[in-house]
Amino acid sequence: MARSSPTDFMKLAHDSYWLWAESMMVVGMRTTDMMTGRGSERENRLMVAEKMKAGAELAVMLSTGGMISPEKTAQKAVSHYRRKVTANRKRLSKKK
């Protein structure tokens, strides 16, 4: 089993923080849109579909050789979700 370095841990911590921060931004934008009536049924459906697709993609990725060590597995999961959340934040920010 591969050993993780302090650098690997710091990258995981950094990426986890930004996943959390950007997730909160996306939740805030979507909540604001829903409360002010700017949200759409299409956006709500897209939100659910994206979450289901991202979870399925990660499951496939990890089940087909993605689990090297707990740390590497966590990094893969965080990186996977972070790409999705960053794309959502950018897309939702353009609508404003």
Please check the confidence at residue 32 and state whether its pLDDT lies above 80. yes
Tokens, residue 6: 């302090």
Please check the confidence at residue 56 and state whether its pLDDT lies above 90. yes
Please check the confidence at residue 10 and state whether its pLDDT lies above 60. yes
Phi-psi region for residue 37, left (φ > 0), alpha (ψ -120 to 50) or beta?
A: left
Is the entire prediction scored with pTM above 0.85?
no
CA angle 77/82/84 to nearest 5° reads 105
Q: Quick one: pLDDT at residue 62? A: 87
The Cα 33–Cα 45 span in angstroms is 14
Instruction: Give the domain ranges of the chain.
Output: 31-94
Average pLDDT over residues 52-57: 95
Residues whose CB is less than 8 angstroms from the CB of residue 12 and which lie 6 or more positions away in sequence, other chains included: 71, 74, 75, 78
The helix (H) or strand (E) run that includes residue 90 is helix 70-94
